[in-house]
Amino acid sequence: MTPALYNPMGTTALVTGASSGLGVGFAHELARRGADLVLTARRLDRLEALAVDLAEKYGTVSTVIPLDLAAPGAVAELMRDLTDRDIRVSTLVNNAGFALFGSVVDAPADRVHDQVTVNVTALTELSHALLPGLQAAALAHPHGAALVNLASTAAFQPVPQLAVYAASKAYVLSLTEALWYETRGTGLKVTAVCPGPTETEFYAVARRSPGGPRRLMSVDEVMQAAFAALDAARTPPHVVAGTGNRITAWLAGSAPRRAVVTVTGRLSRR
């Protein structure tokens, strides 16, 4: 078995959107590897329950910070809180995000705004604010610092009925790959994780069902792909979870854009 190269033991990791789904998965795996956690999301009760669970299973110390990243000044507030608590973050997992299903013209303006704010603006601001500290941590703790941004297989093509979500994830993928290049040689592990449909609250928030016979990935399967990338000697700029998803992403990048959006449009109407 190849030894794990990503070892955050003795460091602190910040996970956004930590109250459910993939955020919980990241929190558990980081705690299992010996990291203390900063857990942030809107739902305080779930964060507190997760903190207790992590402490009981792994002896992890978790700092719970309830926060709505769609609120004005949320990232600045979070950074002040970290400074006041003298918390130095070595790993950042930008997991928070959500989708709205339906035509853009029919979407409530405030929800479109919040979606872009959480998926794009907050992720960018938090990455920018913490990046100097992450790079310093990579020097102090070789193989123990990382920046993980949650993209999606939707990032590889336009998706009618999920237009803003897919566009936001395309941005996340592009930004993360550029940061991967810019941070080469610093020791910081940077990657965008691109899961396909997964067993989380995603579809409930988007107000649609997964549809069709396609099997949803489990959170554990996505975690295996994400941490395999972090454990690699050369962490890739992005990782697509699942063989079928990797093939689909490759096909989307190889086919003419008009054909791709026509296919995704027809599939989304189902």
Please write the tens of the pLDDT for every residue from 242-268.
788 878 877 777 767 776 667 777 777
What tokens does 265 get? 């449009």
Is position 209 within any domain?
A: yes
Q: Residue 245 sits in a domain of what CATH number? A: 3.40.50.720
Position 168 in a domain: yes
Residue 243's domain comprises: 12-269
d(CA 229, CA 258): 32
pLDDT in tens, 154-184: 999 999 999 999 999 999 999 999 999 999 9
pLDDT tens, residue by residue, 68-87: 999 999 999 999 999 999 99
**Cα angle for residues 115, 131, 196 (degrees, 5° grid):** 45
pLDDT of amino acid 12? 98
Check residue 2 and give its pLDDT: 56
Q: How many residues can be counted in the chain?
A: 270
To the query of whether residue 58 is one of the catalytic residues in this protein, the response is: no
Task: Give burial (CB, 10 Å; 0-12/13-18/19+) of 115.
Answer: buried
Q: Would residue 1 count as lying in a domain?
A: no
Question: Measuring CA to CA, how many Å separate 161 from each of 5, 132, 209, 259?
Answer: 40, 37, 13, 16
The answer to the question of residue 58 being in a domain is: yes
Catalytic hit among 6, 58, 165, 203: 165
Question: Global pTM?
Answer: 0.90
CB-based contact 19:201 (threshold 8 Å): no
Structural domain contains residue 195:
yes
Total domain count for the chain? 1
User: Residue 106: its pLDDT value, please?
Assistant: 96
- The per-residue pLDDT for 209 is 54
pLDDT value, residue 243: 81
